[in-house]
Structure 1
Amino acid sequence: MAGETDPLATEQPPLSAGDLPAELPGELIAPEVAALEVPPELVAQSLGEYVRAWGARIRGGDPGVLPVILGLAIIAVLFQIVSPGNVFLSAGNLVNLFQQSAVFMVLGMAEIFVLLLGEIDLSTGYVAGLAGVIGVQLVQPVTTNFPWWVAIMAALLACAVIGAAQGTLVARLRLPSFVVTLGGNLIFNGVMLWALLFGPFSGYPTLGDQTNPHVLYQLMWGTIDPLIGWIILTALVVVVGGSFWLRDSRRRRSGLVAPPVSLTALKIVLIAVVGAAVVAICNINRAHFGTIEGVPWVILIVIGLLGLWTVLLQRTRFGRYIYAIGGNPEASRRAGINLVRVRTLAFVLCSMTAGLAGLLYVANQGGASNNFPGGQYVLYAVAAAVIGGTSLFGGRGRVLHGVLGGLVIGGINNGLYLLGLDVKVQFVVTGFVLLAAVTIDALSRRGASVGSVAHI
């Protein structure tokens, strides 16, 4: 409507003629180049063309999630063969693996917000720890006795304030994010230790059997009735698949570029098959004595967070601004994007997501303590995002990459634990996997730039 302004944009000088090349070489608009620069689903008219365009992008230096998918397959096959009793792919261990990986996955999703901007947040580990301590302390019956939902909101609000403060220092004062968040890492480690001393718990508040503490505990260990799990899966496939189908159909009717019908149908079938496999595995009784079955709450939490942040980054103006700034900050500024506001909001979302990871951690541990490995977890956060396929140089990555990278880290830790190897080996192997991921990212960018020069 007339008179409305974009709150994330400001008036900036437009690009002048001198900022653009006088003419573009004809080769740059060739279909072959377009296939490398545009997502395959936008240039393909059939499933076969999509596969060929996807192959061209891989050869052009953009492998996408293929390396991490292959890595997960290798991890699964290798540890299934060498694990005692071949239990790695058993239902009980797979559910346990996902629960162990949940904190890594959520931390990886948190870090992606700032990595897309070409920044980094080294405070996510102890921001997560502080959120967990706040949540546990506020539900203690003998002290504050807050409702569980108030405790969760208070913890996430504290993280939002932290993110806003650090984002302001980075965006407005233009301080290096590395230095700002490294300082935050030290500060919030100390604040977390102070918060642990509140109340008569000797620094070790726990989640007991009372209602509010038990709800926090159930974030990690609670399960859904098997029948309810199938109902939720059906609803999820109908809603997500229906949104895919209606969106693509609407674009086709409007004469806009849209993926082939066969590709849309394949995505919906893939979601249904993967979801059915997850529910079926989780509904197997995993207890040695008694009954433990059903989809864990934490799986729904991670999937819900993945869906929410994916929509935010892929389907909103704010998400497009993040990618634009990460790709070229100066061009984004000249296009009228408010860099300060977008960067600050990205740090807020990063800290809030890390806070949720902290709540899942204390739920997994049944309480909080000064043994929280915040320094280790911030490294896992960056590693999960980069191993999953997010670039350290900004402008390239998806929320899904944090989930896949977190699964890789969790799979390595789980498999080595089954083999009886200690944490030293886990660190070494995870470090080598991270180096491999960064190498792939650097080589793919170099290959892409060489390919572009060759076309010119």
Structure 2
Amino acid sequence: MTQTKGAPALDLLDERLRHGEGLKPALRAIADRIRSGDLGALPIVVGLVVIWTVFQILNPVFLSSANLVNLLMESVSVGIIALGIVCVLLVGQIDLSVGSVSGLSAALTAVTFVGSGWPVWLSILAAIAAGALIGWVYAQMVTRLGVPSFVATLAGLLGFLGLQLWLLGSRGAVNLPFDSGLVRFAQLDFVPAWLSYVLAAVAATALFLTGYSLARARRAAGLSGRSTSLLLARSVAVLLGLGFAVWYLNQARGVGWLFVAFVVLVLVLHYILTRTAWGRAVFAIGGNVEAARRAGINVKRMYISVFMLCSSLAALGGLIAAARLAAANQASGAGDVNLNAIAAAVIGGTSLFGGRGSAFSALLGVLVIQSISSGLTLLDLDSSFRFMVTGLVLALAVALDSVARRSRAAHGRA
């Protein structure tokens, strides 16, 4: 059975081993696929290992459990925004206003919750609904008026920044109550130690059951499926890895519920992108929009849904950032939030050319961004170095994507 074009290297290894080709031919096939430009998550994983190794050598505190807990918690707000960027990039578009939308969401949440006395859940819903409305407006500008998404969202970046400043008014900042459920969830709520091990076991079990179900379905259809022993070995490896990670984080404060929620959001989006018709349509449009249109995909409707999802996630990330700070101010969503979210998606492996990437790009990319920030902070270096290092990593990621894209094109012609 031939392997699909975008399949990870490990899947190819499984395929070769299932057909009895042996380990050496399987590894040779993986090397051929990498040479053809199908790198998967390999560059970002290698990059993370290098970054963590360097910072650990320079400062032994970097990989301490306490610092890793902080690193994971601080990565969530930008990571959620980066999830929306992944979706927009997959269809070959861009949203430059996610930082301003996140700041507006933070201001709207604070003003309605603290200033107007709304229930916190209603303020959160209002902020996310405002984000969805912004995405709808962008989609109308792109699909009906033909305005490039770059220009439409650039206008939004300026306009919504002004609206944020207007909402905050002369106060400039609104503090959120420390005893509110939103702030507690973002800062103080951690998974009990025993439950964190249970969640790790549930994740490994779910991985095995989903793999086993898929393998059975493939065999029923007359196709090859992964062996039960292979699925079991993979799940045991995941269980051991997650178990060690949980044990190590529990040496400090443990695993934050906020980070758990982020990982669940990543998994949900991954399922939607890989197992639903909507997800297949997203990749089809990013691969070739005209071919997708001729195949019967409603491209305009897909653009609307993607832009609305992106802005809604930007709003959610903004209110999480406000909860982490326990305040919304004129700097909310400003600075490097916008660029870091886009950089995280690209560094994580989402192509700027559309059609390639995954929800895990946001998770991996934001870990790189936050690792650089945390490492340089521990070294007592100012933000100028962080900008330079992040820019270098982003340039390398884009260059690697361009080279891989040309390699895939050349391999396809061959």
TM-score bucket of the superposed structures, by smaller chain: over 0.9
* C-alpha contact 2:106 2:332 (8 A) present in aligned 1: no
Inter-CA distance 371–55: structure 2 relative to 1 (3 Å threshold): same
Give SS of 2:329's match.
Answer: coil
* C-alpha contact 1:36 1:57 (8 A) present in aligned 2: no
Inter-CA distance 383–239: structure 2 relative to 1 (3 Å threshold): same
* C-alpha contact 1:384 1:405 (8 A) present in aligned 2: yes
* C-alpha contact 1:282 1:296 (8 A) present in aligned 2: no
Residue identity opposite 1:268 in structure 2: S
Residue identity opposite 1:203 in structure 2: G
Measured after TM superposition, the shift of residue 217 of structure 1 is 4.0
Describe the superposition over 1:300-346 as per-residue Cα deviations: whole angstroms up to 9, x where unpaired. 11111101100111110000000000000111111110000001100
Please state if 1:70 is matched with 2:46: yes
Distance 2:168 2:408 in 1: 49
Describe the superposition over 1:3-50 as per-residue Cα deviations: whole angstroms up to 9, x where unpaired. xxxxxxxxxxxxxxxxxxxxxxxxxxxx8xx55736253781526476
Q: 1:354 aligns with which of 297, 314, 322?
A: 314
Distance 2:208 2:124 in 1: 31
Give runs of aligned pairs for residues 281-296 of structure 1, distance below 5 A.
Answer: 281-284=248-251, 286=252, 293-296=253-256
Inter-CA distance 126–225: structure 2 relative to 1 (3 Å threshold): same
Give SS of 2:272's match.
Answer: helix
Q: 2:86 aligns with which of 104, 112, 118?
A: 112
Q: Which moved more, 1:59-68 or 1:166-175?
A: 166-175
Please state if 1:202 is matched with 2:171: yes
Gaps of 5+ in 1: 1-30, 287-292
* C-alpha contact 2:349 2:361 (8 A) present in aligned 1: yes
Residue identity opposite 1:75 in structure 2: I
Distance 1:150 1:231 in 2: 32
* C-alpha contact 2:191 2:254 (8 A) present in aligned 1: yes
Give runs of aligned pairs for residues 152-231 of structure 1, distance below 5 A.
Answer: 152-197=124-169, 202-210=171-179, 213-231=180-198
Residue identity opposite 2:75 in structure 1: S
Distance 1:102 1:440 in 2: 26
Residue identity opposite 1:62 in structure 2: D
Inter-CA distance 80–58: structure 2 relative to 1 (3 Å threshold): same
* C-alpha contact 2:102 2:333 (8 A) present in aligned 1: no
Residue identity opposite 2:126 in structure 1: A
User: 1:7 corresponds to which residue?
Assistant: none
Give SS of 2:86's match.
Answer: helix
User: 1:4 corresponds to which residue?
Assistant: none
Give runs of aligned pairs for residues 49-64 of structure 1, distance below 5 A.
Answer: 51-64=27-40
Inter-CA distance 359–273: structure 2 relative to 1 (3 Å threshold): farther
User: 1:381 corresponds to which residue?
Assistant: 341
User: 1:246 corresponds to which residue?
Assistant: 213
* C-alpha contact 1:221 1:364 (8 A) present in aligned 2: no
TM-score with structure 1 setting the length = 0.84
TM-score with structure 2 setting the length = 0.92
* C-alpha contact 1:35 1:53 (8 A) present in aligned 2: no
Q: Which moved more, 1:50-59 or 1:363-372?
A: 50-59
Distance 1:255 1:91 in 2: 48
Give SS of 2:345's match.
Answer: helix
User: 2:396 corresponds to which residue?
Assistant: 436
Describe the superposition over 1:49-83 as per-residue Cα deviations: whole angstroms up to 9, x where unpaired. 76544332211112111111000000111000011
Residue identity opposite 1:185 in structure 2: L
Residue identity opposite 1:91 in structure 2: S
Distance 2:357 2:378 in 1: 32
Please state if 1:89 is matched with 2:76: no
How many residues matched? 406
Measured after TM superposition, the shift of residue 382 of structure 1 is 1.2
Give SS of 1:205's match.
Answer: strand
* C-alpha contact 1:217 1:366 (8 A) present in aligned 2: no
Gaps of 5+ in 2: none
Inter-CA distance 162–375: structure 2 relative to 1 (3 Å threshold): farther
Distance 2:228 2:27 in 1: 14
Distance 1:422 1:297 in 2: 30
Distance 1:138 1:232 in 2: 35
Q: 2:323 aligns with which of 363, 384, 387?
A: 363
Give SS of 1:188's match.
Answer: helix
Please state if 1:314 is matched with 2:288: no
Q: 1:408 aligns with which of 349, 368, 374?
A: 368
Please state if 1:103 is matched with 2:77: yes
Inter-CA distance 52–154: structure 2 relative to 1 (3 Å threshold): farther
Please state if 1:425 is matched with 2:397: no
Give SS of 1:98's match.
Answer: helix
User: 1:37 corresponds to which residue?
Assistant: 5
Residue identity opposite 1:71 in structure 2: G
Give SS of 1:122's match.
Answer: coil
Residue identity opposite 2:175 in structure 1: T
Residue identity opposite 1:55 in structure 2: A
Distance 2:358 2:289 in 1: 19
Inter-CA distance 345–281: structure 2 relative to 1 (3 Å threshold): same
Residue identity opposite 2:225 in structure 1: A
Distance 1:256 1:262 in 2: 18
User: What is the aligned-residue identity percentage?
Assistant: 37
Q: 1:134 aligns with which of 104, 108, 114?
A: 108
Greater C-alpha Rg: 1
Inter-CA distance 73–36: structure 2 relative to 1 (3 Å threshold): same
Describe the superposition over 1:74-110 as per-residue Cα deviations: whole angstroms up to 9, x where unpaired. 0111000011xx1111000111111222223222211
User: 2:97 corresponds to which residue?
Assistant: 123
